[in-house]
Chain A
Amino acid sequence: MFGRQLVLAGLGVAAGLLGALVGVGGGVLVVPGLVLLFGVDIRVAVATSLIAVVATSTAAGSVYVGSGTANMRLGMTLEVATTLGGITGGLLAAWIAPSVLGALFGVMMGITAVLMFRARESHAAATATEGPRAGWEDTAHLGGGFVDERGAVVAYHAKRIPLGLALSLVAGVASGMLGVGGGIIKVPAMALGMRVPFKVAAATSNFMIGVTAASSLFVYFARGDVHPAIAAPTAVGVTVGALLGTALSHRIAPKALRRVLAVVLLFAGVQMFLRVFGVTLGR
C-alpha cells in the first residue's frame, strides 16, 4: 500500500513539476499516466486529475500575493459558462464509453503537443510575473490594466464577451469530461478572441481552472468515481511538483523541455487514441 502511494505521488510530482515548468496543466499528464501506466479506469483518472487541478489552483492562489494581473471580474463572468459546462461535461462522461473518452483525450493531447511546439510565450513565464499587486480592474466594463515588466502601463478592455462565454462553455465541458484545467482553450479565447493581453489571460485562467474543476469534481464524487487511495497521493504529489516547478521556472529554459514533453504527449496521445480500437502498445 505504502509503495503504491509512493509511486502515485511520484507520478504526481512529475506531472506537476513538468506542467509548471512548461506551462501546461498537470491534468494532461496525470490522466494518461494513470490510464496507460497503472491501468486505472479513465473516469477515475479524470476525477483524480480534477482533484489535482483544484489543489494546484488553490495552492497558486494562496501563494501569490494579491491577484497580480488576473482579472477576477472577467474570470468570474466567464465562469458562469465554464461551471455550467463543467457540470455538463461531468454528467456526459457517464454516458460516453471509456475508450471513446480516452480517444477524445488522445486528440486533445495531440492538439496540446502541436500548440507546445508552436508556443512562443510560456504559461510559466506569464504567471511568473505574479507578485505584488500590479494590476487593477475596471468595474464598469470588463477591462483593467497592469504594469508590465518595462514599467509601462497597459490598459485593456475585454471585447466580444458572447464569444468568450461560448468558448468558456466548451472549455468547461472539456474540463468536466477529460479532467484537464481547460486553460488550453481559455487562454487563447481570452487573448485572441477577447483581445485581452496574454499575461492577464494566463493569470485569469489560472484562477478560473480551480473553480471549473470543482464544479465537475463533485459530479464524479457523487457518482463514486473518486478513489481516495489513488487521488490522495496523486493530488499531494502534483501540488508539491507544481510548487517546485513554479519556484524553478525562473532558472530553467522551457524551450527544450517543451519540445521533449510535446513528443511524449504526442506518443501517449496516440496510445490513448488507439485504445478505442482495442490496440494496446506495450502492456
Chain B
Amino acid sequence: MIVQGALRAGLGVAFALLASGMIVAAFAGEAAARPVALRALFGPLDLGSRLMGLGILVLGLTPVLRVLLLVLLWVREHDYRHAMIAAFVLLTLIVSIAFGVPA
C-alpha cells in the first residue's frame, strides 16, 4: 500500500540523517550535547547537529504525512466527514510546527 511505502521512505530518510549525523558528530568530537531549536537548523550550525536535527524533523513529519494521506484516502472514498476531521487534525499539527518558525 502507498501508506506503508511512504512511511518507510520517510523513516529511511530520517534514519539516514540521524545515523550520518551521529557519525559526523562522533568524529568531530563535539564536547557537549547542545540544544537545537527548530529554527536554528537553518542557520549556522555544525554539520553533525544539523544532520541529526534534520533527521528528527523528518521523523516528526512522518505522522503528519500519515494524516495527510488519510485525508486524501477518505476524500477518494467520498467519506468527506472523516476527511474533514483528519484535515482538522492536520491543521492542528501544522499549528504546532508553526511554533518553531520565527515570528
A and B bind:
yes
List the interface of chain A (C-beta within 8 A of B).
1-2, 5, 44, 51, 54-55, 57-59, 61-62, 65-66, 72-73, 76-77, 79-80, 83-84, 86-87, 90, 139, 210-211, 213-219, 221-233, 235-236, 239
- In the complex, besides A218-B96, A228-B36, 17 extra interface pairs with C-beta distance below 8 angstroms are A44-B35, A54-B62, A57-B63, A61-B3, A62-B4, A76-B70, A87-B96, A211-B63, A214-B64, A221-B37, A224-B36, A228-B33, A229-B33, A229-B52, A231-B52, A235-B59, A236-B19
Contact A227 B35 (CB under 8 A): yes
Cβ contact of A222, chosen from B38, B56, B70, cutoff 8 A: B38
Q: Among A44, A61, A210, A221, which residue has the most Cβ atoms of chain B within 10 A?
A: A221
Cβ contact of B62, chosen from A58, A72, A139, A229, cutoff 8 A: A58
Question: From B101, which residue of chain A is reached at the shortest CB distance?
Answer: A222
Contact A73 B92 (CB under 8 A): no
Question: Taking the nearest CB of chain A, how far is it from the CB of B89, in angstroms?
Answer: 5
Q: List 30 A-B contacts (CB under 8 A).
A: A51-B56, A54-B59, A58-B7, A61-B3, A65-B4, A73-B85, A76-B86, A76-B89, A79-B89, A80-B89, A83-B93, A90-B96, A210-B62, A211-B93, A214-B60, A214-B93, A221-B38, A222-B100, A226-B36, A226-B53, A227-B33, A228-B55, A229-B34, A230-B33, A231-B52, A232-B18, A232-B22, A236-B18, A236-B22, A239-B15
Q: Which residues of the partner chain A approach B34 to less than 8 Å between Cβ atoms?
A: 227-229
Q: Which residues of the partner chain A approach B88 to less than 8 Å between Cβ atoms?
A: 80
Contact B66 A58 (CB under 8 A): yes
- Tally of A-B residue pairs with Cβ under 8 A? 165
Contact B93 A139 (CB under 8 A): no
Contact B26 A1 (CB under 8 A): yes
Count of B residues near A, CB < 8 Å? 57
For the complex of A and B, 3 pairs with smallest distance between CB atoms: A228-B52, A222-B100, A224-B37
Cα A44 to Cα B32 in complex, Å, equals: 14
- Grouping DSSP codes into helix (H, G, I), strand (E, B) and loop, the B interface class, with mixed when no group exceeds half, is helix
Cα A141 to Cα B22 in complex, Å, equals: 47
Contact B1 A66 (CB under 8 A): yes
Cβ contact of A76, chosen from B8, B10, B35, B85, cutoff 8 A: B85
Cα A230 to Cα B53 in complex, Å, equals: 11
Cα A1 to Cα B34 in complex, Å, equals: 12
Question: Taking the nearest CB of chain A, how far is it from the CB of B71, in angstroms?
Answer: 9
Question: Taking the nearest CB of chain A, how far is it from the CB of B18, in angstroms?
Answer: 5
Known interface pairs A58-B59, A225-B35. Does A216 touch B96 (Cβ–Cβ under 8 Å)? Answer: yes
Known interface pairs A216-B96, A221-B38. Does A54 touch B85 (Cβ–Cβ under 8 Å)? Answer: no
Cβ contact of A211, chosen from B7, B15, B57, B89, cutoff 8 A: B89
Question: From B8, which residue of chain A is reached at the shortest CB distance?
Answer: A62
Cα A230 to Cα B63 in complex, Å, equals: 22
Question: Taking the nearest CB of chain A, how far is it from the CB of B15, in angstroms?
Answer: 7
Q: Would you give the 0/1 interface string for B8-38, flagging 1 where the beta carbon is closer than 8 Å to chain A?
A: 1011001100110110011011110111111
Contact A215 B92 (CB under 8 A): yes
Known interface pairs A61-B7, A221-B38, A232-B22. Does A51 touch B59 (Cβ–Cβ under 8 Å)? Answer: yes
Cα A79 to Cα B89 in complex, Å, equals: 7
